[in-house]
Amino acid sequence: MRDRRYSWGAEPVGNGAWSFALWAPGCDRIALRLGGTDRPMTAGRDGWFTATAAAAEGMPYAFVLPDGMAVPDPAARRQQGDVHGASLLTAPRQPAFWGSRPWEEAVIYELHVGTFTAAGTLAAAAAELGRLAALGFTAIEIMPLAQFGGDRGWGYDGVLPYAPHNVYGTPGDLAGLVAAANGHGLMVLLDVVYNHFGPDGNYLPLYAPDFLDPGRTTPWGAGIDYTQPPVRRFFIENALYWLTEFGIDGLRIDAIDQIVDPSDPELLVELATEIRRLGRPVHLTTEDNRNLTHLHARGPGGAVTGHTAEWNDDFHNAAHVLATGETEGYYGDFADDPLGLLGRALAEGFAFQGETGRGAPSGHLPPTAFVDFLQNHDQTGNRARGERLIALSDPETLAVLTAILALSPHIPLFFMGEEYGEARPFTFFAHFGGALDEAVRSGRRAEFTGFQGFAAADIPDPIAWDTFAGARLDPARRDSAAGRDHARQLRHLLGLRHRLIVPHLAGAPGHGGTLIEAAGGRLAVDWRLAGARLALRARFGPADLPAGAGVEINRTGSAKAAAEAVHYLATGPDGGA
């Protein structure tokens, strides 16, 4: 028999046999339920239980605790039903990897499978990918797929991190989506959650209480103890599973500020180090409200040796204040000088780099170490009513900010529907069933207590079917004259990006951005790239447009518009000097 590939879970080991492994240090015995029979598992060292048995692909199985309770495999690849029932034996996949694309070519489209199409499935999503590639997108980023309690939700409350949520489809359907994306030249990035487990269907505390850190909680539940070797392997192998068994091109790791690990190396460093040993391109992005940069440090010649890029909330927040005038909540930090903070974020990465106690210097990183966005699932869906920017800003300002996003040397990300001016809101939704639903309702109302202009009755019920259905993309808007015109403008911008800017991003240096002016509605930023110099000149309001140099490659707005932006490019031997 061959050796196991993974520490946790069930996998075939040859000759019709399957090997099963569960870390259950809180139990003195565990049984394997397979084929209607319970058989004792062998207790090993450090809390591990193992068993080997003849079995076949697709058979249901579960682990039985000392009190007789049967629980699913926490590393299940597929469930027979919901998160409370049996798991299904699923053999590892061996995809042919397509080769991916260089990171500097990334133009990311974030999507939620359940609301991206009317069917809300992986197969239906795959059918839409050609349209995205034709617009100039080169990557899709899928919100979390790990199976969670209930039949609808954002995916950040997953409890079975290895199992694609079966409402969306099967592991085979996910493999089909990846193949379809690659066929259109699209990379696939997957959002993963390694900072907590959801409230419905997490049985780990019953048999592995040491999985959790009793001294720490996150905003969403109990903290995780990453100092435990089996816990580290659970998450590192999960990352490797998505990358190697489905050929996924990269991961976006959610809220890493809640991955607190005193180990040396810390989990995120070890994870990146092990992934880099795969010997193929893998793009790792992080979300971290601390504005830290140590995970993204470049190696010799600017090589990515750890994590690839960081989601840049500073860019979003400054742009949002400019676009809407809103200053409540976390937008308050950007209220006094949104233009200056936007300019600094464009030039140096982060707007806040430690001066106020948050962040670290970021100007040394290349521009491609930052993922910028005007909208995403969080910044839209965490609003009380889920409004998109198209409902909050004037069209001219939004068009200028879109041009700035698309033609910046940072990596741009767009939220689904943004490509054609989707007007439907994207609200928070969930459906667990039972008492949890009322807890979600109450929590959602409490979240907006104290915000101006909101009463509980104004906040969509997150559990209602209509809230979920209302967040689906609107094909009528997409196919309308206004939608087609919106898409045509974005296709033009992304075409310019790929043709004129992307060729100068590989090898673009750190300390290459300069904020020249950000005052009185005038914004001027220059970037030194690889063999080129890119210049942005913009205005918001009636100010004059700052003077720029180089060949004008795009003008958004006009002298009579509420906002205007011009991009210039100078190339040649001295273009990047």
Assign residue 475 the CATH number of its domain.
3.20.20.80
Which of 105, 261, 266, 287 is an active site residue?
287
Say yes or no: 548 and 465 in one domain: no
The pLDDT-based confidence of 382 (bands split at 50, 70, 90) is: confident
Q: Give residue 311's pLDDT.
A: 98
Q: Among 193, 165, 167, 188, which Cα is nearest to 176's?
A: 188
Q: Residue 103 falls within a domain, yes or no?
A: no
Q: Give residue 23's pLDDT.
A: 98
| Span 397-415, average pLDDT | 98
Q: Residue 505 falls within a domain, yes or no?
A: no
Say yes or no: 332 and 185 in one domain: yes
Q: Is the pLDDT of residue 184 over 90?
A: yes
Q: Give Dmax (Cα) for the chain.
A: 79
CA pair distance 405, 76, nearest whole angstrom: 40
Q: Residue 444 falls within a domain, yes or no?
A: no
Say yes or no: 72 and 175 in one domain: no
Percentages (nearest 5) of helix, strand, coil residues in the chain = 30, 25, 45
- Among 58, 73, 88, the domain boundary falls at 88
DSSP state of 79: B
| Span 372-377, average pLDDT | 98
* H or E element at residue 382: none
Q: Residue 205 falls within a domain, yes or no?
A: yes
| CB atoms closer than 10 angstroms to residue 150 | 22
CA pair distance 202, 206, nearest whole angstrom: 9
Q: Give residue 252's pLDDT.
A: 98
| Residue 390: strand, helix, or coil | helix
Q: Residue 577 falls within a domain, yes or no?
A: no
Q: Is the pLDDT of residue 577 over 80?
A: no
Q: Residue 451 falls within a domain, yes or no?
A: no
Say yes or no: 249 and 314 in one domain: yes
- Higher-pLDDT residue of 237 and 35 is 237
| Span 258-282, average pLDDT | 97
Counted domains in the chain: 3
Q: Give residue 528's pLDDT.
A: 98
Say yes or no: 339 and 475 in one domain: yes
Say yes or no: 75 and 145 in one domain: no
| Span 388-398, average pLDDT | 97
pLDDT in tens, 129-170: 999 999 999 999 999 999 999 999 999 999 999 999 999 999
Q: In percent, how much of the chain has pLDDT > 90?
A: 93
Q: Is the pLDDT of residue 188 over 80?
A: yes
Instruction: Quote the domain boundaries for residue 189.
Output: 141-436+460-480
Is residue 168 a contact partner of residue 121, using CB atoms and an 8 Å limit? yes
| Span 292-321, average pLDDT | 97
Q: Give residue 380's pLDDT.
A: 94
Say yes or no: 531 and 465 in one domain: no
Q: Give residue 446's pLDDT.
A: 83
Q: Give residue 283's pLDDT.
A: 98
CA pair distance 18, 91, nearest whole angstrom: 9
Q: Residue 249 falls within a domain, yes or no?
A: yes
**Burial bucket for residue 435 (CB in 10 Å: 0-12, 13-18, 19+):** exposed
Say yes or no: 60 and 160 in one domain: no
Q: List, as one string, the DSSP characters of 546-565.
A: PP--SEEEEEES-TTSSEEE
Assign residue 14 the CATH number of its domain.
2.60.40.10
The pLDDT-based confidence of 96 (bands split at 50, 70, 90) is: confident
CA pair distance 349, 364, nearest whole angstrom: 9
Q: Among 154, 157, 133, 152, which Cα is nearest to 143's?
A: 154
Q: Residue 485 falls within a domain, yes or no?
A: no
Say yes or no: 50 and 179 in one domain: no
Assign residue 556 the CATH number of its domain.
2.60.40.1180
Is residue 528 a contact partner of residue 569, using CB atoms and an 8 Å limit? no
Query: Quick check: is 314 catalytic?
Result: no
Q: Give residue 451's pLDDT.
A: 63
Q: To the nearest whole number, what is the mean pLDDT of the chain?
A: 96
pLDDT in tens, 34-64: 989 999 999 999 999 999 999 999 999 999 9
pLDDT in tens, 425-482: 999 999 999 899 999 999 888 887 766 655 555 789 999 999 999 999 999 999 999 9
56-to-14, 73, 127, 175, 383 alpha-carbon distances in Å:
11, 16, 32, 21, 47
Query: Quick check: is 128 catalytic?
Result: no
Q: Is the pLDDT of residue 16 over 90?
A: yes
Q: Give residue 300's pLDDT.
A: 93
Say yes or no: 381 and 518 in one domain: no
Say yes or no: 162 and 303 in one domain: yes
| Span 83-109, average pLDDT | 96
Which of 225, 254, 310, 372 is an active site residue?
254
Say yes or no: 211 and 286 in one domain: yes
Is residue 563 a contact partner of residue 540, using CB atoms and an 8 Å limit? yes
